[in-house]
Amino acid sequence: MELWFTEHHNDSIGYSLKVNRTLNSENTQYQKLDVIESEFYGRVLILDGILQTTEKDEFVYHEMIVHVPLFTHKNPKSVLIVGGGDGGAVKEILKHDSVERVVLAEIDDRVVENSKKYLPTISCGLYDEKVEIMIGDGINYVSEHKNEFDVVIVDSTDPIGPAVGLFTEDFYRSVYECLKEDGIIVAQTESPFIYGSLINKLSKMFKNIYPIVKPYICTIPTYPGHLWTFTMGSKKYDPEAVDVNNIPNIDTKYYTPQLHKASFVLPKFVKEIFEEA
Ligand code: SAM
């Protein structure tokens, strides 16, 4: 009998993958965690029934959440990731020679341990000596560190459970304090097809805090609606003013210097969601 995993995006839409086998299922302190092997996308991490990352398409999300801010900043040395326990963002950050310190503030150690065990191609950077893994609520970590990071990446689950607080103005203000004077924050801000009103709300919050606020997009096959948004808040650098001819060549599959610029060109309805904020 065929086995399928279906993520229910809302009450009327879902997305299904054919499953070869289940590698692990457990209830952690915070969420239900499953790792499956799917026929097409390879191994998949699922939290509370929501697909987090797959071996086959993880590169799109992780390259775009990392390389756009890190190549916008002139000299990123210290980077904080809030969430991101699968290690995919860490793997991409380590491709930047300027980076000396990466802190991963992840609430659920079981995400880290399962990724190390079942998703080695995604979690491989977690063993690097530049990486500090802090298990605990990222909200607390941010509030306890001031003027410390060049870039903060909010690589969170959807705004449910422990991630609710990561989608609030108080949190983005706290990140502002945690950043150095020319720091940059990037947050994954969900699908414009499904979470338009949330994106609009988040955009308002960013504009209340950061002098430069720029949303950008990419296309992720396994995420709801496929078209995905990130929102960047910057104290000094404009991501669209980056000289693409000066971006060093690194090993990527999705990100290119030209795409860096192009990702800020938004479809009209997405632009309206952000501009109306
Ligand atoms: N790329 C993914 C997506 O959009 O589906 C997110 C990946 S990553 C696995 C998200 C992580 O955020 C999870 O491991 C979850 O445990 C973590 N997380 C949720 N709330 C958190 C919080 N308050 N502090 C730190 N980590 C948190």
- How remote is the CA of residue 246 from the centroid of ligand 1, in Å? 33
Spatial separation of the C-alpha atoms in residues 255 and 260, rounded to whole Å:
7
Structure tokens of 252? Answer: 């990527």
Distance from chain centroid for Cα 194 = 18
Q: Of all helices (H) and strands (E), which one includes residue 151?
A: strand 149-155
Whether residue 53 is annotated as binding a ligand: the answer is no
Structure tokens of 165? Answer: 């607080």
Residues 6+ apart with CB under 8 A from 170: none
Task: Break the chain into its structural domains and give their ranges.
Answer: 3-54, 58-275
Per-residue pLDDT of the chain (277 residues; tens, 9 = 90+): 899 999 999 899 999 999 999 999 999 999 999 999 999 999 999 999 999 999 999 999 999 999 999 999 999 999 999 999 999 999 999 999 999 999 999 999 999 999 999 999 999 999 999 999 999 999 999 999 999 999 999 999 999 889 999 999 999 999 999 999 999 999 999 999 999 999 999 999 999 999 999 999 999 999 999 999 999 999 999 999 999 999 999 999 999 999 999 999 999 999 999 998 7
- How remote is the CA of residue 106 from the centroid of ligand 1, in Å? 7
Spatial separation of the C-alpha atoms in residues 81 and 104, rounded to whole Å:
5
What Å distances lie between residue 217 and 64, 72, 104, 145, 149, CA to CA? 8, 16, 24, 29, 24
191 lines ligand 1 (CB under 6 A): no
Whether residue 26 is annotated as binding a ligand: the answer is no
190 lines ligand 1 (CB under 6 A): no
- How remote is the CA of residue 212 from the centroid of ligand 1, in Å? 25
Spatial separation of the C-alpha atoms in residues 79 and 110, rounded to whole Å:
22
The residue whose CA is least distant from atom 2 of ligand 1 is 52
Structure tokens of 160? Answer: 């449910």
Are 64 and 218 in contact, with CB atoms under 8 Å apart?
Answer: yes
**To which CATH superfamily is domain 3-54 assigned?**
Spermidine synthase, tetramerisation domain (2.30.140.10)
Are 153 and 81 in contact, with CB atoms under 8 Å apart?
Answer: yes
Write down the pLDDT at residue 277.
75
Write down the pLDDT at residue 13.
93
**Under CATH, to which class is 58-275 assigned?**
alpha beta
What Å distances lie between residue 227 and 60, 272, 277, CA to CA? 11, 15, 20
Are 207 and 43 in contact, with CB atoms under 8 Å apart?
Answer: no
